[in-house]
Structures are given as structure tokens and as C-alpha cells.
Structure 1
Amino acid sequence: MRTWRRRLDQALTLQPGEGPAVIAGLSLFYLLFTGYFMLRPVRETMGVAGGIDNLQWLFTGTFIATLMCLPLFGWLVSKVRRRHILPWTYGFFASNLMLFAVLFAAQPDDLWTARAFYIWLSVFNLLSISLAWSVLADVFTTEQGKRLFGLLAAGASCGGLSGPIIGTLLVAPLGHAGLVVVAAACLLGSVAACAYLQRWRERRPLPAAVAHPTSRPLGGNPFAGATAVLRSPYLLGIALFVVLLASVSTFLYFEQARIVSEAFTDRTRQTQVFGLIDTVVQALAILTQVFFTGRLARRMGVGILLVAVPLMMAVGFIGLALAPVLGLFVVVMVVRRAGEYALVRPGREMLFTVLPAEDKYKAKSFIDTVVYRAGDALSGWLKRGLDLLADHPQLAMSMGAVLALAWAIVGTWLGRRQQAEESTGAQNKLPPPI
């Protein structure tokens, strides 16, 4: 038994004592993403219900809602203990879900409820996931992040795999209201997993954790995240990387909505189709996260995680510009999303492990929410303008290739900067010469 356990630890690149923390981190992401991916197909159905020509308005509404919510989150981060930030935030979101469950049960076909849910889930998605990664960046060291973040991201993909399956099976008997209630229960379960993970780190405090204990509020003002980004070239680079990521995603998302709305008219059928696409994406991502992401990061650096997918997307967009067929589009979409979950997202989160605690929560949440949704909104209007200029998707796909190449260039620069920051931090921790 010990031999098999040792082999498993070696396969997963675990160090002694890390097993309980990894299980807690996997559970945190699994429950969070199971609940979210149960609701994601519902969101897509609600977006299609308002008309695909109006999606850019939903993206703009999401950006405005994010701008309104982030100062409240910044105030919470400044005033409460770090160990309470995630439980309080997720508890608030769970209460929101229960309200939507009541609205869906009372008025299942109300268009304004559908639009409100679409915007709410889009804000919840980025803020809740960003906050979970903030906790992990706070709990684990940079070295542990390189080894473990890919594995922990597999918990998100497992949730992303089971969530659509559960949603597809339960949407008919429970309806959209029932799915929302189940998702709220999953969200509360992730709070318990986070509490265990934080207790694990408190029993094994790092020097940085001793200097900035989780029992102490971070202080500062609600807008400190935005000002920190504007002052730091490194954080500005991450922000630009996120804008380009969001732009590439939006171009493909609009095409997905158009194709599915033309092929399927029934809401339940649309939800099932979106769920099936999510299932394929997550299954592919899990294999990469468990066996390849950590090894690539340790042997080739964070840069390879940030550059591989953008380069593949540039090739994919060029292919779609030359032959915009359904089969090729599905392949490009699956590669983009699976690659983001397995490579880009863990690599992006590793960039924050070299930063101080305040930036891990405030600057990170600003980039992951306001900056990301700003990229969504701007690229949504850009995509709509390109569609109006030309009925053929060739123009939009060519622009997508340009954005993907710029995305790869920024990822290369960030990988080098992260390595330099890590080396500087390691030198600062060395004892002074005798």
C-alpha cells in the first residue's frame, strides 16, 4: 500500500503533508464548478432567448454590473479577515441563487428575469472563480503552485464535466428553478472545503503568512486593486493578457450562439446541447491538467502555458477564415476552451504567486472581473460591427487571428517577467552572507 501511495504521489508531484490540502483544493473547485456548469447551459439558453443580435447588450450590461459590484467587494476585502472573504462572498451568492429559484418557479418565461440571470451569472462566474484562485495563491508558495495548480485545476474540470451531465439530466424533471437550488448547495459545500484548506495552512505558516496572517484584514481602500494595476507594468501586462483572452473567447462565443440558435429552437434542447459541449471540453482538459500541466510548468516555465493556446487559436482562426465550416469551428472551440482550463488558467494564476497578499485579492479581482468584462464588452461590439460590415465571417476570423497572435506575444513577455520575479524573491529569502 505504501508503495502504491508513493507512486501516486510521484505521479501527481506531491510532497509529504500536501495530500489533505490538495484534496481540499480539489473539493473547493469541484463543488464550485459543478454548481456553475449546471447553470452555464441555463445562462446560454437565457442569452439566446433575448436574441443573438442583442448579445452585445448583455455583455455591456455585465460590464456595468461588474463595475458596480467591484467596489463593494473591495470594501469587503479591506475590512474583514482574509479567512472570511470567501465564505461571506459565497454565502451572499447562494442567497441570490435562492431568489432566482423563486423567480424561475413563479415566472419561467419572463424575459427580464432571463436577462438578469444572464448578467448575474456572468458576474458571479468571474468573481467566484477569481476569489477561489486568490485563496490558493495565498495558501501555496510559487514552487507549490507550479507543481499543484494544474492538478487543482483538474478539480475544476471534473466539476465542469459532472455539472453539465447533472444539469442535462435534471433540467427536464426539476426545471431551471430546481437546478439553481442544487447549485446553491454546491456553492455552500465549497465554503467548507475552503475553511479546511485555510486551517491546513495556518497549522503550517509560511514566513509571508506570519507577516500577513489571515486573521488580519488587508486594509486599504476599495479601489486599491485598480491603482495597483495602473502602477505596475507586470500587472498591466496581466491585464492586457486578460483583455486579449476575453476578446478571442468572445469572437468564438458569438459564433457558437449563432450556430446553436439556428440549429435548435427549443430551450430545453439548447440547454442540453450546451451541456454536451461543456462535457467534451472538460473531459479533454482533465487529462492535460493531471498529467501534463505541472510537468510543463516545472520543466519549461510558466510561459509555455501562456503561449501554446494563443498560437493554436491563431492557426484556428486562419483556418476558419479560409473554410468556415461547422466541424472545424467545433474543433477550434473545444481546443480553445480545453486549453484555457488546462494550460492558460493555471499559468495565469501562477503569475500571482510572486505578488504580495493585497495584490492577490484586490488587483487580481479587478483584473479578473472589470478588465475581463471590459474586454468582453469591447470585443462584443467589435464583433458585431465586423458582422455588419460583411455577411461572411472571414473578416471577423481574420481579426481573431491578429488578436490571438498579440495574445501570444504578451504571454511570452509575462512568462519571462514571472521567472525574473520568482528569482528575485528567492534571492531575497536567502540568509545574509557571514
Structure 2
Amino acid sequence: LFAYYILKPVSRALFLNQFDIDKLPYLYILIAVGGGILAYLYTKLAVKSSLKVAVGWSTALTAASLLGIWWLIGLGLDWVLYLFNVFVSLFSVVLVSQGWLVAANVFDSRQAKRLYGLLGMGAVIGAAFGGTFTAQTVKIMGPRNLLLASAGMVLLAYGAFWAVTRLKGVTLAGARAADSEEAEFQFRDIPSALAHHRHLQVITGIIILTFIVDVTIEYQFNAMAKLEYHSKTQLTAFLGNFYGLWLNLVTFSLQFFLTAAVVRWFGVGGTLQIMPITISATALVTFFIPGVQSSAGLRLTEAATRYTLNRTGMELLYLPLPTDLKNRTKAFVDIFVDRMGRGLGGMILVLCTTVLALAPKYISLVTIAFSLLWILLAARASREYVATVRRRLASRRLDIGSARLSVGDPETLALLEQTALGENPRQAAYALGLLADTQDYDLQPLLNKLTESPAVEVRAKVFELASGQNYGALLDHALGEAYRQHSSETAPAVRAAVSYALTVSSDAPRLLCEFLELRDPAIWEGAMDAVLVRHELATDVITREWIAGAARDPDVRRRALAARAVAVSGDEGIEALHRLLEDADPRVVTAACRAAGALRNRGYVYAIVQRLRDVRVRGVAIEALAAYGPAICGTLGDFLTDNAAPLAVRKEIPRVLRLILHQRSVDILLAALYNPNATIRHAALRALNRLRESAPQLQYADELVAVQIHQEARQYCELNAALAPFRATQDGSRAATLLARTIDERLRQTLERLFRLLGLRYPPREIYSAYLGVCHCGGEQHTAALEFLDNVLERDLKRVLLPLLDAPGHVLETGRHLFGIEVKTAETAVRDLIRSGDPWLVACAVAAAGELGMRRLAPDIQQAAENTGPEVAEVARSAAAALAA
């Protein structure tokens, strides 16, 4: 920002000194069009690049460009000043946004809450010092030479970035240079969104008017400054002081001292109207008292309120929109609407200054006219905002947290309170949760009112939120809820009340004893919820004897409670968890798996792994094993490669490893790609793809992947060779038809594995899009996918894959040319399939051999019966009997 606030006044001062003021509107149009296109192209490139690479290249190109512009300005070329101003507009988009993106990837959400305020203050200080530096040194160095100072600051900023990347614990390996939402929105999606959302129409209209007014005010300010300051040195000094020091000082003061209070007092509608009203009043003063001071006051009013009050109001205005639409809209606004508004403003100025020949003072009236329209639109925005919030509340899809604001809009809060006190229990509970997430909102009076709500869901939410805030005034209500006679329908409220009572009560150990003695599962669950938060409660109450007794209790829910208790008290000296992991009831096993995952005792790993076969508890077993972390990766790898272990267990191991974001997981899964069992290979590959998305910083062994790509390509050609004789025959054999369908399905799976492997070497999303295109045989999508692969793949992979994908009808010739795979007869193909090791493919091939009378394959069928599972053995016996008949 120090560098930017050198460039901004210098670029504008040099332009104003060189050209008449009537050329300024054309510069605005050029910046809107040229800068918009360049910003869009940068975003498209940046989302495919790593952040480190983008920062490095951007810094180098910026420094080189500044040196080049410095040299060209010295040659006295007029067109360079247009280029310089467009460059400065792009500078603010690229380098400043990269700085915030680096911060977003260096700090986690908790650190960001503490440090973003300091970073924002640093940005203000940098801007202020940059402007002051420009004003003070321009008289010594001259405007042109300040470009060299700016280039030096850019290089210093890169030095700071380099130092950050060397800090312990900082990794930017997986960070992209732009948010994916910015690059993924499609212009064609926006018109339909605008047509269906009046709220969105109003937002877009306000933003366009904001930038039209911004351009008209800036034009008048620059015109008056040009008339007042006749030398480029004086003009640069004035603009440096104005933009760097005074504008940032006023903006910081407004944001720090007034914005939150204004939003609380006036709400969204009032906040949005402050900017156009103050602009209208200031513009009227400027019309009657024209001059550089009045126009500077107008510019200061517009810019300061736009960056503070208006920005906060607009963030709140986005609040009720669905998250995906909100992200796409913001990207559309940043790339297109911003520039469109400025471009329209430039065209309006051309009309006013060139066609109508209005003097600069009359531009104030144009500003007032658009501000009045803006006021009307802001009033409409307030009504649409309330209506949209109502609809989103009704559907329980309002996300307060996404607004990222520390202020509370009174209209929104009033709607939430009204909903919380309403008759719809689900909406009321949802509104309570949103109010609890709102900063600086006192929830306690509302909790007091709702403790006697007839709705179970609302009472449960009240106790849950009161427990989270450690608000003890509801203890009597909670005990009344717990001890009164209740049915299964009121169990959620009872559970929440018990948990709350044990959280806030000073006599919690005695209460815990009482609750655990009651024969009520809802009370048990609530008590254990509290114990999981306050472990000290379990010390004297949940003893080894208590756990052992509960683990043997005939009540399933009591045994599940015992498993949860082990997670809190530990398993030292007791064997209860082993028994509970073998329990016949899935509810008990679920609790036991979670307890084992919490304790991370390796003695339970084998029992949990065996539970991967049980579809009822498979998900929780996977989560429990993943909770052990990298420590058991070796053990899981042993299970994965153990051919004696059940396939139903082995094929689920990759699902565990994909949740352990560690290089050991990657290495084990890469080794599994060489497993002869296609099911294992496919499961490992899917897990690697998921890991690549969630942990791109890990190493995915490109050479190993390349070897496997060749293996899968060979498999694809071999399956095609096996399928060929069955495509040509029309003998009506049901087994042969089933075999052909099975081979065809294996071909599709092999093609999917090929692209999944490519996704480990190249950008996954682009490879997936190419896969979808290849699956559309023929047509533009297929052609585009092949063109993409032709440009992306390395030569060795391109030589193997493109012939397979480009000419599916000639795969047999390709297989013979690349791998020496000859065309097979039906009998040869069936023999090879019987020896393939794929159980279902072996069964289909054996059945086809029996039905087609391939007696020479009897020894192979006999061997398959001896070396495979019972299902294949049964088919083999039937086929052998048919051949012997």
C-alpha cells in the first residue's frame, strides 16, 4: 500500500498536467474496459497457479513494468500516461489482494480474529506514509523518479513475503493465487440469477450507481485540482497528501469509531442511505461554492463513506443470499459490475463535458441527480432485505456468520427475536442459534422467556445455549425438566437440561450420582454429555466398578453409556471396551468405536478393523481408526496388503487412510495401486484423489503414478482384445452376453482409473472435466477434452493415451502397436479372463466356457475352483459338469 499510494497520485498528476481535463472521461472508460479485461484474465490464470509462484511473478513483472514506464515517460510519449494509469488500476487489484490472500493462508480463523485488525491498521499506516512520502519527496525527486521508489517498496514487500514463507509452521504449498469462486462463475449464470432474485437486482443497481457517482465526483475533484495547481510537482504533492494521509485518516476514524454504532442505530436501510444523502448535501455546497477545497470535501465524503458505512451496509445486504449465489455475485461484482459502473460514469461524463459542454461546477448537479436515485434504491433495498431475511428464516438457511461483521443490524435482530418467540419450533430454535452467533447480543433475557416454551425443540436449544454461555439462572428450570415425568418425545429437552445442570451447578458430583442411578436413557445421555465437557466430574462417580457393571447391563442403552464413560475415565485396568466392541447391538459398537478412537489405544485397532465389514457401523469405525492418526498407518497398510484378510475389510482401508492427511497415507495408497486386485486398486485410487484435494501439499510420487498409468492403459487394451471376439459373435449364449457386458463395465472402470491417476499429476478439476468430455463419444465436448489433454499431457503419456481416446474403434491396433497385444479368439480370451484374478470376471468367464463347450479349458476351470472363493467354485463345478456331459 505504501507503493500504491506513491503511484496513485503520481499517475493522475502526470496525466492531468499533460492533457486537458476533457480527456479524463476517456481515461475512465479505458481503465474500466482495459483494466477489467486484464483483471479477469489474471484471475483465470491465478486460480490455476500456486500463490508463491503468482506472488513471485507478479512482483518481478511489476518492478520491471515500473522501470519500463519510468523510461518511456522520460521519452515524452503521451500514450504512456494512459498505459500508466491502467497499470496502476491493475496494481491495486493484483498486489494488494495477494497480500490479503497470503494472510488468509498463513493465519487460521482464530488467529485471524486477533490479527486482522492489526493488519488493517498496518494497511492504513502504509497508505498514509506512502501518501506523505510522495508529498514530501516529490519536490526533491520529481514525479517521474518516484516510480523507482515505488519499485523499491514492491521489492521490499516481496522480501517480507519471503521471510514469512520461511517461518516455522507456515506452508503455502497448496494455496492458490485466487479464490476459485472468482474464476468459476459464468457470465451466463448471472442473468438468470438476476431474473429470479429481486434482492440481487437491487444490490447490482446500488453498486452501479455507487461507481457512477464515484467517477463524477473524482472528475470534478481532479478538474478543480488542475485549475488550482499548475505544476505537476505541486499537483502530485497535493494528491499524495489527500489520498495517502487525509483520506485514510478519515476512513480509519469512521470505521473505528462510528460504523458499528451507526449500523446498530439505523440498520441496513439507514446505513445505506447515509452515503447518498451526505454526498447530495456536500455536492450542493460544491455547486454554490466551487473550488478545490469544496470538491476535496466532496471527494473525501464520498470515498470515506464508501469504504466504511456503505461497505458494511452492502455486506449486510448480501447476508440473506444463499452462500453459493453470494460468492458468485461478489465475484461478478468485483470483475464486471465495478468496471461497468465506472465505464458508464465515464460515458456520462463524455456526454456532459464534450456534448453538452458543462463546466466542472455543474457536474455537482449530475452527482445529486444520481444520488437521489440512489436514495430511492436504498429504500427499496431495505424492504427487499427484510423480505429476503423472512424467507431465509422460514427455510432455516440464513447464515449470520458468513457476514463476517461485528455489528448487529436492528431490523435483522428484530426479525430473529420475533421468529424465536414464534409458534414454529424449528424456526424458533434456528433463530435462537443465529442470535447466539451474533456478536455483542445479550441472549439471556430471551433465554429466560423461552424456558417455559411448550416446544421441546426450543427448550432443548435454550438449555444448550445457556450451557455454552455458562448462564446459571436457569438451573431450577433445568432440574424441573429433568425430574418431571416425561415421554420419549420430550427426551431432547431432558437431555439438554441434564447436561446444562451438570455444567453450571456447584453441586454437580452429587447430581451426577443421582442422574446415573435413574433408569432413564435421556438423563444418562445428558449426564455423559456434561462429563465429556467436565472430565473432573467422573473422578469419584464413574469408577471401574461402575463401568464394569454398566457394560454387563442387559439394557443396550446402558452398555452404550458404559462405552462413552470409558472414553472419559480411560481404560486402565478394565477390559470392558473389548467386550463392548464385540457387542451384537450396533448402538453399543458405535459408542465403543468412538471411545476407542478417543483413547487411541492400539489394542483396539484389530477389533475396529473387523467392524469395517458391518455396514451398520462402518462409518463410525472408519472415523475411529482415522482418529488414531499416522501412528497406525503401517498397521492399516499391513491389513491392505494381507491377501488372507477378507476383501470386505481390505477395500475399506483406503477410506480410513484418506482421512489421515499424512505422507505415510499417500505412500501406502500409492503402493496399493500395484495390487493385483482391481477392487483394491480402485479404492486406493479414489482415496488418493480425495487426499489430493484435501492435502495438495503432500507428494504424490509422479513417477510411480506414470508407471501405473501405463499399466492401466495396457489393461484397457487387453480388455478390448478380450471383448472383440464376443462383439463379433451372435450365438445367443446368455453367459457370453453377460461376460461381454462385464468386460464392457471393466473397460469403463479402467478408463475412470486412468483419469483418476491423471488427476494425481495434473489439476484434478480440469482432468475431471476432460473425463466427462471423453465419455461423450463424439461432439464438441469430446474434441475439446482431447485438445486439452494434447496440450497438458507429457509426451510419453500423450503417446499412450491419446490414441486410445481419440480413436476408440482402433484400440486393437493401438494395443498391438504399443503393447504387442494380439487379437484373441474367444477361447483364448476366456482362458486369460479365467486367470485374471477378478472374482466376478472369473465367474462370468467360467460360465461362458461351460456354455460354449470350451472343453480344452477344463484344467483352467478346475484350477479356478480350487484357488478362488465359494461363489466362483460353485460356478466352476457347474461348468465342469456341463463340459463333462
| TM-score, length of structure 2 as denominator length | 0.38
Correspondence for 2:366 among 380, 386, 399: 399
Mapped to 2, the partners of 1:89 and 1:341 lie a distance apart of 27
1:281-315 C-alpha deviation (Å, 9 max, x unpaired):
22222222222223434554444443212110012
Bigger CA drift: 347-356 or 369-378? 347-356
Report how far residue 316 of structure 1 moved: 1.8
2:26 is aligned with 1:57: yes
2:269 is aligned with 1:291: no
Residue pair 1:38, 1:183 contacting (<8 A) in 2 also: no
Q: Which amino acid aligns with 1:45?
A: A
Report how far residue 250 of structure 1 moved: 1.0
Q: Which amino acid aligns with 2:305?
A: G
Counterpart for residue 236 of structure 2: 271
Mapped to 2, the partners of 1:360 and 1:320 lie a distance apart of 37
Counterpart for residue 4 of structure 2: 36
1:238-259 C-alpha deviation (Å, 9 max, x unpaired):
3322211111111111112222
Q: 1:348 and 1:46, CA in 2 relative to 1: closer, same or farther beyond 3 A? A: farther
Correspondence for 2:87 among 120, 123, 132: 120
2:298 is aligned with 1:332: yes
Counterpart for residue 71 of structure 2: 106
Report how far residue 318 of structure 1 moved: 2.6
Counterpart for residue 364 of structure 1: 330
May I ask how many residue pairs the two structures share in their alignment? 384
Report how far residue 114 of structure 1 moved: 2.2
Residue pair 2:55, 2:98 contacting (<8 A) in 1 also: no
Residue pair 1:248, 1:403 contacting (<8 A) in 2 also: yes
> Larger relative CO (CA 8 A, sep 6+): 1 or 2?
1
Mapped to 1, the partners of 2:70 and 2:358 lie a distance apart of 40
SS of the residue corresponding to residue 399 of structure 2 reads helix
1:218-252 C-alpha deviation (Å, 9 max, x unpaired):
76894615345431434443332221111111111
User: Which structure's residues are more often helix, by fraction?
Assistant: 1
- Percentage of pairs with the same residue: 19
Correspondence for 2:344 among 378, 388, 391: 378
Counterpart for residue 224 of structure 1: 185
Structure 2 residues not aligned, in runs of 5+? 401-429, 435-455, 458-491, 493-885
Alignment of 1:117-156 (within 5 A): 117-126=84-93, 154-156=121-123
SS of the residue corresponding to residue 351 of structure 2 reads helix
| TM-score, length of structure 1 as denominator length | 0.72
Q: 1:184 and 1:219, CA in 2 relative to 1: closer, same or farther beyond 3 A? A: closer
Counterpart for residue 253 of structure 1: 218
CA RMSD of superposed structures (Å): 4.3
Report how far residue 137 of structure 1 moved: 9.7
1:342-383 C-alpha deviation (Å, 9 max, x unpaired):
322344355556667766765424312432222112212212
Counterpart for residue 125 of structure 2: 158
SS of the residue corresponding to residue 230 of structure 2 reads coil
Bigger CA drift: 341-350 or 110-119? 341-350
Residue pair 2:206, 2:378 contacting (<8 A) in 1 also: yes
Bigger CA drift: 247-256 or 338-347? 338-347
Report how far residue 193 of structure 1 moved: 10
Bigger CA drift: 222-231 or 245-254? 222-231
Residue pair 1:137, 1:350 contacting (<8 A) in 2 also: no
Counterpart for residue 177 of structure 1: 147
Report how far residue 272 of structure 1 moved: 0.6
Structure 1 residues not aligned, in runs of 5+? 1-32, 203-212
2:197 is aligned with 1:188: no
The structure with the largest alpha-carbon Rg is: 2
Residue pair 2:63, 2:155 contacting (<8 A) in 1 also: no
Q: 1:394 and 1:88, CA in 2 relative to 1: closer, same or farther beyond 3 A? A: same
Q: 1:35 and 1:177, CA in 2 relative to 1: closer, same or farther beyond 3 A? A: closer
Report how far residue 130 of structure 1 moved: 6.1
Correspondence for 1:168 among 135, 142, 165: 135
1:17-71 C-alpha deviation (Å, 9 max, x unpaired):
xxxxxxxxxxxxxxxx322212111121232124322122222221222342244
Residue pair 2:67, 2:147 contacting (<8 A) in 1 also: yes
Q: Which amino acid aligns with 1:185?
A: L
Mapped to 1, the partners of 2:370 and 2:311 lie a distance apart of 18
Mapped to 2, the partners of 1:361 and 1:194 lie a distance apart of 29
Q: Which amino acid aligns with 1:396?
A: I
Q: Which amino acid aligns with 2:10?
A: V
Correspondence for 1:344 among 310, 319, 338: 310
Correspondence for 1:242 among 195, 204, 207: 207
Mapped to 1, the partners of 2:31 and 2:385 lie a distance apart of 32
SS of the residue corresponding to residue 425 of structure 1 reads coil
Residue pair 1:70, 1:370 contacting (<8 A) in 2 also: no
Mapped to 1, the partners of 2:318 and 2:99 lie a distance apart of 13
